[in-house]
Amino acid sequence: MNEKLSELYNAILDGDVAGAKAGVQAALDAGLEPGLILADGMIAPMKEVGKRFEEGEYFVPEMLIAARAMQAGMSLLKPHLVGSDVKSAGKVAIGTVKGDLHDIGKNLVALMLEGAGFEIKDLGVDVAPEKFVEAITVDGVDIVAFSALLTTTMPNMKVTIDAIQQAGLRDKVKVIIGGAPVTEEYARQIGADGYSSDASRAVSLAQALLAA
Ligand code: B1M
């Protein structure tokens, strides 16, 4: 791998915000193609972070700081990606469901998806069902992703799916769900297309659903 890209790769793996910014800038200054910087210097280390997390070598804090470093690097790279030939992997609207204010996990999922090339519409927290419906009709998203951290707000995932169904949009979009109290079984019960237990698996789930 190019030396500049391996410095960027290691900065993101270590969650080094300043190093990630410097790494992106150095790679741009060296004339490297933005798509290559994103793929080899930024998405690759996030994949490694996800792998280490799944293997129990990294934990949530390491994922968060790596995600923060990637986000810092992305803020510099984003303007250079516009108009380049990086193809979007798909559009995702993500939000924490109505009544729920937890957003750390949701932000992590959004970041990992963004790192994998998805366009993200972040609807924030306490998102009413009609906001998800609007994201499908107005923004034409391919996937809606719901996060819930409370057993009391989980039922709003089903309420939101029902709202999408009632708007006649259920076959236009894939619904994926996650959050600490959510399970695969619950996803099946409420008619979601997929469940993921963590941010890294949310990426492979979204990729698999759009490839199918
Ligand atoms: Co709250 N809280 N909280 N809280 N809080 C929990 C969830 C709780 C389990 C704590 C506890 O009692 N042990 C408990 C819920 C109990 C239950 O429902 N059974 C609880 C409670 C009770 C509450 C309040 C009701 C407390 C009160 O006011 N009495 C209140 C509710 C407010 C509301 O939402 N209406 C409340 C408030 C808060 C704070 C605001 C203080 C703060 C949130 C700050 C913020 O998010 N900006 C907070 C926090 C920090 C927590 C804990 C401690 C940590 C949550 C967190 O960020 N985890 C939490 C305890 C816990 O979870 N063990 C707790 C780290 C994060 C990276 O993990 O969000 O699980 P997580 O995301 C993971 C996966 O779940 C998955 O990927 C992520 C990364 O791997 N994932 C998805 C998440 N969303 C996904 C979406 C996908 C896919 C995967 O889409 C496809």
- Give yes or no: residues 128 and 78 share one domain: no
Rounded mean pLDDT, 85-98:
88
Assess whether the C-beta atom of 149 lies below 6 angstroms from ligand 1: yes
Q: What is the pTM of this model?
A: 0.83
Question: How far apart, in whole angstroms, are the C-alpha atoms of residue 4 and residue 30?
Answer: 8
- Give yes or no: residues 131 and 205 share one domain: yes
CATH code of the domain containing 178: 3.40.50.280
Question: How far apart, in whole angstroms, are the C-alpha atoms of residue 179 and residue 157?
Answer: 11
Assess whether the C-beta atom of 84 lies below 6 angstroms from ligand 1: no
Q: Is the pLDDT of residue 81 over 80?
A: no
- Give yes or no: residues 145 and 46 share one domain: no
Question: How far apart, in whole angstroms, are the C-alpha atoms of residue 147 and residue 171?
Answer: 21
Q: Is the pLDDT of residue 85 over 70?
A: no
Which DSSP letter does residue 167 get? T
Residue-wise pLDDT for 25-65, tens only, equals: 999 999 999 889 988 999 899 889 989 988 999 998 998 99
Q: Is the pLDDT of residue 77 over 70?
A: yes
* Number of independent structural domains in the chain: 2
Q: Is the pLDDT of residue 100 over 60?
A: yes
Question: How far apart, in whole angstroms, are the C-alpha atoms of residue 52 and residue 63?
Answer: 9
Q: Is the pLDDT of residue 83 over 80?
A: no
| Domain termination residue (choose one: 65, 83, 101) | 83
| Cα 102 to averaged position of ligand 1 atoms, centre (Å) | 5
Sign of CA dihedral 133, 139, 143, 147: negative
Ligand 1 atom closest to 149 (CA): 7
CATH code of the domain containing 19: 1.10.1240.10
Which DSSP letter does residue 93 get? E
Tell me phi and psi for residue 197, to 5 degrees: -85, -15
| Domain termination residue (choose one: 83, 103, 137) | 83
pLDDT confidence of residue 86: 62
pLDDT confidence of residue 5: 96
Residue-wise pLDDT for 111-149, tens only, equals: 889 888 899 999 999 999 999 999 999 999 999 999 999
Assess whether the C-beta atom of 177 lies below 6 angstroms from ligand 1: yes
Question: How far apart, in whole angstroms, are the C-alpha atoms of residue 97 and residue 28?
Answer: 38
Assess whether the C-beta atom of 103 lies below 6 angstroms from ligand 1: yes
Assess whether the C-beta atom of 136 lies below 6 angstroms from ligand 1: no
| Residue range(s) defining the domain that contains residue 193 | 91-211
